[in-house]
Copies of this chain bind each other. A is one copy, B any other.
Amino acid sequence: MNDTDVGTAWRQLLAQHATIVCALERELHDRHDLGVSEFEVLDRMAEGACKSPDGGFRVQELAECVHLSQSALSRLIARLENHGLVTRSLCQADRRGVFVSLTEKGRDTHAEARPTHRAVLGKYL
Query: Which listed residue (B6, B16, B19, B122) contacts A6, Cβ 8 A?
Result: B122
Question: For the complex formed by this chain, how many copies does it contain in all?
Answer: 2
Among B6, B13, B20, B118, the residue within 8 A (CB) of A3 is B118
A17 is an interface residue with CB less than 8 A from chain B: yes
Q: What bracket does the count of chain A residues touching chain B fall in?
A: 20 to 34
Cβ–Cβ contact A118 & B6, under 8 A: yes
The answer to whether A7 and B121 have CB atoms under 8 Å apart is yes
Q: Measured between alpha carbons, how far is A18 from B69 in the docked complex, in Å?
A: 11
Chain B residues closer than 8 Å to A121, beta-carbon distance:
6-7, 9-10
Are B10 and A20 closer than 8 Å at their CB atoms? yes
| A93 CB-CB contact with B under 8 Å | no
Contacting B at CB under 8 A, from A59-112, are 67
* Contact between chains at B125 and A1 (CB < 8 Å): yes
10 additional A-B pairs beyond A3-B118, A6-B125, A9-B121, beta carbons within 8 Å, are A1-B122, A6-B122, A9-B125, A10-B121, A13-B20, A14-B40, A14-B67, A17-B17, A18-B67, A19-B67
